[in-house]
Amino acid sequence: MKSKGTGRRAFLRSSFTAAATAAWAGAEGRPIRVQEATAPAPQPARAPRLRFAAIGMNHGHINGQCETVKRGGGELVSFYAKEPDLAAAFAKRFPEAKLARSEREILEDASIKLIVSASIANERAPLGIEAMRHGKDFMADKPGITSLAQLAEVRRVQAETKRIYSILYGERLENRATIKAGELVKAGAIGRMLQTIGLGPHRMNPKTRPAWFFEKERYGGILTDIASHQFDQFLFFTGSTTAEVVASQVGNLHHPQHPGLEDFGDAMVRGNGGSGYVRVDWFTPDGLSTWGDGRLTILGTDGFIEIRKNVDIGGRAGGSHLFLVDQKETRYIDSRDQALPYGERLVDDVLNRTETSMPQAHVFLAMEIALKAEQQAQRVQFAKS
């Protein structure tokens, strides 16, 4: 029987040498080992094994949510949106789905087991509660909950009904490099976890945003909304099952014409498995080739991992870039063929009543930290020069 250490070494060796490698000198002459980049292999969809529906298309994330469930074996059978233009766009994207006459028609269809939603942010929790009360599981776009009162009610109904209330924290669950990093951390590639630093910059494009986007009561605040991604990653990579907000701040630093908007926020958090720092903003400049240079740094006792989620400003094409530095060398790991398991696991969970896609306690704790960070945040306004 192989020892645990031997298995770890074999896993790391296969991760770093699965493809041919090239090397060049780093800034100080140290070699950087690089996997050759190849085109990502398409991930085949499972055969349909579960009927699901969509309610609420107020954010474009609904398209990705549906594709995720379809990839895992979901059959999209119906949808509803109260806005005719959003319904028409969704019907064009998913012609196989039938437009329902109302939310109630979907909620009362016993053949539908899962509802996905990207409705206006503060309407997601009430819809999820209704779904669970009708015996259905629910998957929301982030933020899946926008107030601590909503969180308490969602937790209560979920405990009563035993239904699944999932939130698609896509920056982790739908990013190949982040999935790969999870495997590496679990294998001990950087030692014991210490801290995560999560950066979530976004481009504003105000003319493309609906009115609710600028109303804090409806979107929940910047730490509730965008930073829920970063709090999810902090919990996952540190393995924390409890956490507290050490400090947080938010502000509208450059958009006085939208007084309800928070365009900047950051927070320090501490868990029972490590600490974390989060910064999110709406200041991605037009000169960047994508909507935001999302980054995650994972610090361990024996090294660190840095992920450039959407773009490598150093010049490599595409997204999902992973860099690993340990006691021996610096490596770039091509993650473009990494499988994305969340959709298949969620369908498995609906069918088998399991928690393989994401523990329910984790779903709620990530939102709890985000909501408390928002609630406790100091409001900042820097002096103009």
C-alpha separations of 40 from 11, 234, 336, 340, 358 in Å: 21, 27, 5, 12, 25
pLDDT tens string 336-378: 899 999 999 999 999 999 999 999 999 999 999 999 999 999 9
pLDDT tens string 231-270: 999 999 999 999 999 999 999 999 999 999 999 999 999 9
C-alpha span between 61 and 66 (Å, rounded): 9
Helical H segments across 1-147, by residue range: 4-17, 61-71, 84-93, 103-107, 121-133
For domain 50-168, give the CATH number. Answer: 3.40.50.720
The residue ranges of DSSP E strands in 119-242, in sequence order, are: 137-141, 165-168, 193-201
H or E element at residue 264: strand 264-271
In the sheet that 98-99 helps form, which strands lie side by side, from edge to edge? 98-99, 74-80, 50-55, 114-117, 137-141, 165-168
pLDDT tens for the chain, 385 residues long, are 344 444 444 444 444 433 333 333 333 333 334 333 334 456 778 899 999 999 999 999 999 999 999 999 999 999 999 999 999 999 999 999 999 999 999 999 999 999 999 999 999 999 999 999 999 999 999 999 999 999 999 999 999 999 999 999 999 999 999 999 999 999 999 999 999 999 999 999 999 999 999 999 999 999 999 999 999 999 999 999 999 999 999 999 999 999 999 999 999 999 999 999 999 999 999 999 999 999 999 999 999 999 999 999 888 999 999 999 999 999 999 898 999 999 999 999 999 999 999 999 999 999 999 999 999 999 998 867 5
For domain 4-36+176-334, give the CATH number. Answer: 3.30.360.10
Q: Where in the chain is the domain with CATH 3.30.360.10?
A: 4-36+176-334
C-alpha span between 271 and 136 (Å, rounded): 32
Within 8 A by CB and 6+ apart from 359, the residues are none
C-alpha span between 347 and 70 (Å, rounded): 9
Q: Which two tokens stand for residue 271?
A: 């868990």
Sign of CA dihedral 349, 355, 357, 359: positive
Q: Where in the chain is the domain with CATH 3.40.50.720?
A: 50-168
Q: What percent of the chain has pLDDT over 90?
A: 85
